Structures are given as C-alpha cells and as structure tokens.
Chains A and B, each alone.
Chain A
Amino acid sequence: MKIVFLILLFANILFAESVKVYLYTPEINTNNFKSLKISFDAYLSAYGNYELQPFSDKETFEKYLKKKSSIAILSSWHYREIAQKYNLEAMLVAKRKGSITDRKILVGQKNTLLKGVVTSAYDLEYTHELLNAITKNNSKELSILRVPKEIDALMSVGFGMSRFALVSKDSYTLLQHINPVLSKNLKIYYESEPEYRMFLASNEIDKEDNRVVTIFKNMELSDSGKNILNMLGIDKLVFFNTANLEDAGDTK
C-alpha cells in the first residue's frame, strides 16, 4: 500500500504543472533573463513548484496571460493597458530608494531643437507612447534608436551618438553621480508625471494568490531574495493599496 502511495506521490510530483510567474517589463534589462531565471527559480523552489517565465516581447507575454491562474510582473503602464482584459489585480508594487513611483524624462544636449535621434532602452511602442505623452505630441521629428540599457541611452547623448535620451529619472541621477562632467552638458527637456514602478499582479480567480504574494513580499528578508530584487533594479515589493497613494514618495 505504502509503495503504491509513494509511486502516486512521485508521479504527482513528476507531472504536477509548475505555477508560472510571467514577467515582461520594458524597464528591465532583457538580456539578463538567464541569470534572473536561474536565481528566481532557485529562490521560488524553496516554497513550492514555482517557475519564472520571462518574456522579451509584449505579444508573447500577453498570449501566455490568457491562461488561467496568471501571476505577472509588469510595468504600471502595461498594467493600465491590460488589467481589465486579463482580469489582473495589482497586489504588490516595487519600491526603490523609498519611492514606489518614478518619472520618465527626455534628456538632451543643451540648446538643441526637438529633432534627431532619441536613444531609448524601452520597446518601440512604449517609447512612442511616452514620447507623445511627455512632449504633448511634439515628437514627430524624433527617430528612435533602441539601446540595451538606460545608461547606454544617456551616454549616447553625452558622447554624441544621439541628441536625446528617454530614461527614468533614477538613471539620470546615477549618471550625474558617476560622471558629473558628462551630465553637466545635458538638460532635462520634458518630464512625465510620477508613474508607479512595476507591479506584481494576479488573476482574480487564482487561488495561489496569497501564498505567492507573501513569497514575493518576503524577498527583501533574505540574501537570495535581495539579490533577485537587485536584478530587477528595485529594493523591495510592498502591498499595493490606497495607502500607497498617500505614501507615493514622489521622486520629483
């Protein structure tokens, strides 16, 4: 009897489908997926049969979200766009340097007309949307060059490969700290309203919700969890509720 039970248990473990955590956000460095997945899966395996599935393109990510019981990590911009369609509810929001929001800025060389190449580390759709929003549809003469990272976008302006860079204010602050001489020649032309950092959202019908939320919420408490948060470029994940709105910690 015991043997049958063990065989059934083994088969159950063997064939049990892992719970996938889908990730797509144009705000993190997409080439880092390999080490991000290894670290994530190692961390999550201590809590159950979980697995991270990162995506480098929006369409494929959304295709997978159609499946039931979705847990997703995505940008607040993308969340706003698809939350209703995929029945997603934001459970946690990322926090960095005491703030759950960030601003996007258009930085350029000083005394430059709004035309020429703008370097951006975000995907084309997001870049277009951001540019139109922050320049109030005044970006028709800008052409986009996608680069791997925000620091590349900024340095491209500084060293003359592009005229403008569309980046987060966090990255610009980082460059000002590392290379003050280079950033002295740059100027912020446009600045967005504060936007929430990335969300961890789940499908309302998912029964795993609370357990997964707790696992992610507690990431900041262990070294391996902190390492993953670092890879995502954030300090912690905090509960998303109306109280956050009062504690938004606007970074302007």
Chain B
Amino acid sequence: MRLLFFISLFTLFLHAQTLLVINSNSDVKKYTEAVDEFSKNFNQPFKILDISHMKSREIKKYLYDEYPDSVYAVGAKAYQYANEYIPEKEIYFSSIADWKKLTMEGKRYGISNELHSGMQLTIVKSIFNNIKTIGVIHSKYTQNIINDLSQDAEVLGIKIIPIKIDEDSVNTIQSEDTVQHSDAMLVIADPVFLNNEKAVENLFRLSKEHKKPVIAYHELFIKYGATLIISADNPTIGRQMASMIESKLNEEPIENIQYPAGTNIILNKREAALIDVEFTPDISSIATEVIE
C-alpha cells in the first residue's frame, strides 16, 4: 500500500509542470503590475526571474539550469531570451508592443498589448456620443490598424478618415482639413508619425485650434493636451494570463493570442472643458480616472 502511495507521489512529481515568469525589467511599472497580479492569481508554484541586470550568458545559464516546462515572458526582452534559448518550450507572453513582429514558432500563447479596435471605439462612442468621424494619421506600418478600425467603426456608425504619411511627408502633413472635418483625432502607435515630435505637436495644436478632442493610447499624451486616453489595464493582463495558463494546464480550449480584457481610461476633463466637448454623464462607470 505504502509503495503504491510513493509511486503515485513520484508520478505526480514527474508530471508537475514548472513555470518560470521572466520580467524584462522590474523597474518598468507596466511589467511589474502584470507580474504582481499574476502572482496573486496563479494558484500553482512558479519562480520569478528579473533579467534587468543580468548578462546574456547568465540568463542562458539560468534557463538551461532551470529548464522550465513553461515560461511567462513579460516584455519583449524576456520573450526574445526564452525564444532563443529554450524555443522548444511553451512560451506565454504579454506587455509587448506589436507582438506580430516577434518570431512565433512552436507553442506560443499571449495577450497583446493593444486593445481590440472595436473595444476602443465602443469606449469612444460611450463617452462622446456625438462622434461620427475620426481622423487618424498613419503610415504603411500601421495600415492593418486602420483596416481594423475602419471595419469596427462602421458598425458603430463612425467613419475613420485616414491620413497616410511616409518618412518624407511626415514633415509636411496636410492635416488641417481632416482635423477641421473630423469630430475627433485618434493617435495610434505609428512609428513614422511618433518619431517626429514636431508632427505630433502640430496635430495637438491644430486639434486645439479647431476644438477637437484628441484620443490617444498612452497617458504620456496628456501633457500634449489629449482629452481621452484608452489603454489596456496592466493588472488585468496579469490576471488574464493566470487564467489563460490555468485553462491550458486543465486542457481547456483557449484562444492562443488574446486581446486584453480590461481597459484603463483617463478622461482629461480640464481639456474637455477648454475645447467645449460634451461627454457622457455616466463617465464614472466608464473612466478609470477623471482629471479635474
């Protein structure tokens, strides 16, 4: 009887999955928020490794020594190391801007850093009921975002007005006409546009002149005068990942790549008052923070 017990215990031990959480940099708030909330909600043992001050060879040695069954990589740096040294393992990832640029072969699962465009637009519509047209500056690198936005906007009765730019035209963007004829402007993470601070400042200046709200994806844009910030909620990403890995361990079907389930919404009420834009009286049930 005892022998049977020990054999069962040994078998269980053999089958216990080991999980390593790799934090690209524990000084980065969005990474740590996701890791902290993951830790509180994942109900199985795991280890955490912060690689911010580790050399490549140290990371390599650690991964070879530990050789975990699964890795949760938080941030691009963590993903790249796991993908390079233990590519045969299950790798889960989150908090990576534009994950589609990563090498994705093998068992890869993750939560994108960007919200579903339909989710973004539903929030916009719920806050600014009267918005019918939204202008967006983009390059060829973000054409897929424009396509998604246009498709999801249509069902909400919103029209996306794109302004396509490239490395040459970014200095002379003719956006005044679009700003004038749009109900709002949306800033997306376009590398060509964002690399030119003058172009960004110009968009905010024109929007203010024409009293149009600017909607952006990061609170950094508040200093430029953004009226609304819509981004993914990092703690929810941590909880969502815990739920995702547990579902996988229980052999339940999961979507390999998911959109974030929670939003972080900041309404700049001060800016809204300055440009005289109306917003919903139900703002408390939608916004995470209201800047008075």
A230: contacting residue among B125, B126, B155, B283, CB under 8 A: B283
A156-B281 Cα distance, complex, nearest whole Å: 23
A-B contact count (CB 8 A): 110
A150-B282 Cα distance, complex, nearest whole Å: 12
Residues of A within 8 A of B (CB): 28-29, 31-32, 34-35, 38-39, 116-117, 119, 143, 145-152, 155-156, 158-162, 171, 174-175, 178-179, 181-182, 230-233
Residues of B within 8 A of A (CB): 116, 118-119, 122-123, 125-126, 155-156, 233, 236, 239-240, 243, 246-247, 252, 255, 258-264, 281-292
Decide if A178 touches B239 in the complex (CB within 8 Å).
Answer: no
- Contacts A147-B262, A161-B240; A179 near B285 (Cβ below 8 A): no
Smallest Cβ-Cβ distance to A232: which chain B residue: B284
Enumerate chain B residues within 8 angstroms of A32, measured Cβ to Cβ.
284, 287-290
Q: How far is the CB of B248 from chain A (nearest CB, A)?
A: 12
B288: contacting residue among A31, A155, A179, A181, CB under 8 A: A31
A89-B249 Cα distance, complex, nearest whole Å: 47
Enumerate chain A residues within 8 angstroms of B119, measured Cβ to Cβ.
155, 159
Q: How far is the CB of A35 from chain B (nearest CB, A)?
A: 5
A179-B247 Cα distance, complex, nearest whole Å: 30
- Contacts A147-B233, A151-B126; A161 near B261 (Cβ below 8 A): yes
Q: 11 extra interchain contacts, Cβ-Cβ under 8 A, other than A35-B291, A148-B236, A151-B122?
A: A29-B285, A35-B289, A39-B292, A148-B288, A150-B285, A152-B262, A161-B255, A179-B156, A182-B155, A230-B281, A230-B284
Q: How far is the CB of B261 from chain A (nearest CB, A)?
A: 4
Enumerate chain B residues within 8 angstroms of A116, measured Cβ to Cβ.
252
Decide if A233 touches B284 in the complex (CB within 8 Å).
Answer: yes
